[in-house]
Amino acid sequence: MFPAVPPSRYIFGHLPWYSVLIVTGILIAMTLCGREEKRLRLPEDTVLDLALLALPLGVIGARVYYVAFAWDTFAADPLAILRIWEGGLAIYGGILGGALAIVIIAHIKGRSPLLLTDMVLPTVALAQAIGRWGNYFNMEAYGAPITNPAWQFFPVGVLIPAGEGYVWHMATFFYESMWNLGVFAVLWFIIRKRKKHHGVVTLWYALLYGAGRAIIEGFRTDSLMLGSLRVSQLLSLLLAGAAAIILLCLGIRNRRNTEA
């Protein structure tokens, strides 16, 4: 069992857990995608080519997105923008960067972009579940204070420094990690095997991840804000809503085709 306060931000020396966990998630995702590449009979090295392009574009997108909505944090020290190992990567920016990479690789390989997103997104959910633990070691991405002593234990809550002591806060990073793990399981073991059209797995990812993130984001105290709106919560609601509408329309169309 993990303690309510991480023993250190570093696995050893100056190597941060945050970076190790992100890299671990990426490697596991690439391994699973490699198996899918063979199953789907995609051109050789599709996953490798995609990773080589998606990783830099994803990191750049995630950092730019975060910095854009948290500029006050970096205004006095712009060089801090380069210190990504200290935290500050926004998943939606990373997804946009990765989506651009998928469009480019799909064009080069002569395949549908939706075929590639269906392959990649279940493993992205798993990588997100692993990467969220980097927030634990960085003591970030937590929620509101927990005042009821009955709920002051890990993993419901984590202890965050406040003044000369610590205060219990909701462990929202843990909630999202577990949700993402569930999203991976549903997409990988159920939706992936039953889909009839390219893009169905992608839509279910958007619906499931978006719904969970919209709820969990409401508990956080460090959300990226646009005025009085939580940016990620708003995007998550739009993402989940759009995906639900499209899936419903596809379901109606398929039912009509079956009856015809």
Lowest mean pLDDT of 46-60, 67-81, 165-179, name the range: 67-81
Residue 170 lies in a domain: yes
Residue 69 lies in a domain: yes
Residue 246 lies in a domain: no
Backbone angle region of 199, left / alpha / beta, with phi > 0 → left and psi within -120 to 50 → alpha: left
Give me the number of domains the chain comprises: 1
Tell me what pLDDT residue 90 has.
Answer: 86
Q: From CA 104, how far away is CA 124, in angstroms rounded?
A: 18
Query: What is the DSSP code string of 234-247?
Result: HHHHHHHHHHHHHH
Tell me what pLDDT residue 88 has.
Answer: 80
Residue 242 lies in a domain: no
Tell me what pLDDT residue 2 has.
Answer: 78
Residues 201-257: tens digit of each pLDDT: 999 999 999 999 999 999 999 888 888 889 999 999 999 999 999 999 999 998 888
Residue 118 lies in a domain: yes
Asked whether the predicted pLDDT for residue 9 surpasses 80, the reply is yes
User: For residue 171, which of 158, 181, 152, 180 has the smallest C-alpha distance?
Assistant: 158
Tell me what pLDDT residue 83 has.
Answer: 86
Lowest mean pLDDT of 43-47, 109-113, 168-172, 254-258, name the range: 254-258
Lowest mean pLDDT of 41-50, 81-90, 150-159, name the range: 81-90
Residues 150-166: tens digit of each pLDDT: 999 999 999 999 989 99
Average per-residue pLDDT for the chain: 93
Under the banding of pLDDT at 50, 70 and 90, the label for residue 1 is low
Q: How many helices (H) and strands (E) does the chain have?
A: 10, 6
Tell me what pLDDT residue 260 has.
Answer: 65
Distances (CA, A) of 97 to 51, 61, 135, 140, 225: 12, 5, 21, 23, 21
Tell me what pLDDT residue 48 has.
Answer: 96
Q: From CA 155, how far away is CA 253, in angstroms rounded?
A: 43
Range of the domain at 31: 10-141+160-185
The pTM score is 0.92
Q: Cβ–Cβ contacts within 10 Å for residue 246, how many?
A: 16
Cβ-proximal residues to 186 (8 Å cutoff; 6+ apart), any chain: 204, 208
Residue 39 lies in a domain: yes
Distances (CA, A) of 220 to 150, 164, 169, 181, 241: 20, 23, 9, 19, 21
